[in-house]
Amino acid sequence: QEKFERNCLLEMKKRKITFLCLAGFMKILSDNFIKKFRYNIINIHPSLLPKYKGLNTFQRVLKSKEKYTGCTVHYVDEKLDNGKIIVKRKISISDKDNILTLKKRVQFEEYKAYSNAIRKIYQI
């Protein structure tokens, strides 16, 4: 992980990248990496945070018989799925939903949420 992050930082510096948008990244960045980009890394998570942080969110949401779920775009900080929330999108859960149908519906909302979050950050 240390080598990966070092290489990423070198490439980002070389390309003058100052803002990161994570999606489906599935790696936990080190505190050191996050501190170098404080409030310049955002992520999208397939739940209405702070509920269902981490993995297997759709399975856990269905098992808990939630009536609603959705997605959250948030700033990345040193804790998993914890940073300041930028945008949430909420959907209702149908009795007919399963992991795959719910995932597909949430992903549709994620596309909207991510672009809304970027516009909000840059006030476009």
**Residue 103: both structure tokens together:** 């995932």
* CA nearest to 1, candidates 41, 35, 28, 24: 28
Buried b (16+ CB within 10 A) or exposed e, 54-87: eeebbebbeeeebeebbbbbbbbbeeebebeebb
Active site residue: 34, 45, 81, 105, which one? 45
Q: Is 45 a catalytic residue?
A: yes
> Which residues are known catalytic residues?
45
